[in-house]
Structure 1
């Protein structure tokens, strides 16, 4: 394997330091005492880790910002200096590349979109390199180095090896994407499944911050699910986990591309909804925007297709709640553009299928653009940078 380039290393390479920094990053600013409590570490361990991080400019002690004293004198707050480093996030779809430049706190500064004329690996790599280069030029105006690239791809992705095992939308098999992209961009590259990347961003910077157990369910071209259990994103022993899109909710339902019948994805994904409307009406529906218009105009077949999709999604979410008991399920994805058409069915099916106290799970919706998916990719690059040697 070719060596992975690295411009700069995180200054402290212990698991405790990574945990402390991550706690401040996702939940700060905090006092050292509060960092120790939330990270489950000693005050001495926090002091030992914080000092070199302040010296290297990754943490800042705000002498002017103090927490109210519980006992004794007020304590200074410690926060991450987001401008200390920059990262690039790339979301690859079947026909577009979305790139963002973020700071260390994963705040988007610049975004770029470019169309893909081919899904051929060489063409995609060239397009990714061009977008990264554009964003690196933009980064020159921010006065901080770009320290890594994250790439998010749908499908079966082995993050540890940086390999796309199978991506149905790109029609790729066993592509060592991290290695190839590191060569073409000249930066360290992290590759992950797009839903898991989005889950990392929600865990550190979004609706999952501070939660030990939650799930992200995405609806749209596919039905995906990212899981956080005991504070860790679940990747599975073989790189596959949380595939509620392939949970069977109707054994006599339509055939799924995975070969089974009645999967959530076979009923609730965009293509499945369009197909159901077309089969019921005989009308060729161009895209989801047209399907939504038909449903809003009162076309019964369109409304029924969305209602059935909502029921399938609700049952899928209930399966997650019954198995893992998360504190929260966050529903996201481009399919939320039609949320008003199936929100009631999602809630009703979830309530009916959730067992006992699992029904108390907090189900939220969080509409996100594709730029937010790219931000998720940047979050994985930040994560890899912080934990590189742990």
Structure 2
């Protein structure tokens, strides 16, 4: 369910074919109409019918390109998305700050802002979010382009269809109707989603997942997350928690996880767990991840061993995903990549050992992304809701 606001422009062609065609051009364009038909698996007539209102409304632009020629040898017309036709806002909310971006329709960041949070009470966070949205709407007015949607990404158990944050451990939110509250505060259509799933949408449409029917995005940092794309669709599962590899057990006698179980991947390989373990092993009161990494890089054997164990656990966790779903690619991202050199070898070795048969041929890529890119993922979910009626 997308919380909407009266008076905001809607997408001019809410049909499955139009959404599919627009998404195809958005991710792969510029394309000729024939290429659109082939990629979307639709007839040329269906493409022509769907494209017409989108061109009339200014969302698609058709232009002649000499280098693109039809089967008859004549220059072919290329269809592309006019990224400047509309703007969207994305917010990534962490436990201590909000990262906000203003993007165009092609999810290119035009403006980025950050604001520290002095509390996690929803009223305080929503007030800060409202001020940031108002600021970015002012930027949009300067560009003379309307803002047509707001996406908000938070960690934890998020029900996008209901617009509710069931539980966010870092924000300590339970059962919060965030989409409705944010729509009332900001006056825009609002889409909320789990932050990793939102980032997965951005990667599927605009990043390393473009053109892949099946891939996984594993994020490493304050927590361990996993976004899944299966047969071209981002998977949330029947209960909205598909991909929670952070709570796959890798050591049943391991440390206690905040979820109440022992030996979860997150309790071994997430940044807070690593810092706590480095303190315990070395007896040195490292203050944060930066100090733990520095200690390991200076050759402290105990600190380095902690990172090695984290890498081994992460490699096994990734292998579990690959064995179950068989993705073409696994993308590793998140702020935890800052220490990846300390455990990359263990990740590779554990993955290769635990991956079954040909599953070991799965590509494993690292992709460092800033928090602004996570906010961009939130904007991508707003764009997705805007053009896909089946998600509203």
Aligned to 1:5: 5
Secondary structure in structure 2 of the residue aligned to 1:33 = helix
Q: Is the 8 A contact 1:66 1:77 kept in 2?
A: no
- In structure 2, distance between residues paired with 1:135 and 1:12: 27
Give the Å deviation of 1:70.
4.6
Please name the residue that 1:88 is paired with. 89
| Alpha-carbon distance in structure 1 between the residues aligned to 2:68 and 2:191 | 37
Query: Which TM-score applies when normalising by structure 2?
Result: 0.97
**Distance (Å, rounded) in 2 between the aligned partners of 1:284 and 1:339:** 22
* SS of structure 2 residue aligned to 1:323: helix
1:8 and 1:291, CA in 2 relative to 1: closer, same or farther beyond 3 A?
same
Q: Do 1:220 and 1:334's aligned partners in 2 also have CA atoms closer than 8 Å?
A: yes
Distance 1:2-1:319 versus aligned 2 partners, 3 A rule: closer
Match of 2:197 in 1: 196
Distance 2:214 2:259 in 1: 28
Shift of 1:3: 6.8
Q: What residue number does 1:155 align with?
A: 156
Cα distance in 2, alignment partners of residues 175 and 260 from structure 1: 25
User: SS state of the match for residue 372, structure 1?
Assistant: helix
Deviations 1:162-193 (A, max 9, x none): 10000000000000000000000000000000
Inter-partner Cα distance in structure 2 for 1:115 and 1:90? 13
Map 1:136-215; keep pairs closer than 5 Å: 136-215=137-216
Give the drift of 1:2: 11
4+ long deviations beyond 6 Å: none
CA displacement, residues 212-239 of structure 1 (integer Å, 9 cap, x when unaligned) = 0000000000000000000000011111
1:243 aligned residue: 244
The equivalent of 2:16 in structure 1 is 15
Aligned equivalent of 2:358: 357
Give the Cα separation in 1 of the matches to 2:340 and 2:353.
19
Matches within 5 A, 1:269-288: 269-288=270-289
TM-score relative to the length of structure 1: 0.98
Q: Distance in 2 between matches of 1:148 and 1:214?
A: 27
1:372 aligns with 2:373: yes
User: 1:44 Cα shift?
Assistant: 0.9
1:43 and 1:72 mapped to 2: Cα distance?
A: 18
What's the offset of the Cα at 1:16?
A: 0.8
* Aligned residues between the structures: 390
Aligned position for 1:331: 332
CA RMSD of aligned residues (A): 1.4
**Cα distance in 2, alignment partners of residues 37 and 89 from structure 1:** 32
Counterpart mapping for 1:305-324 below 5 A = 305-324=306-325
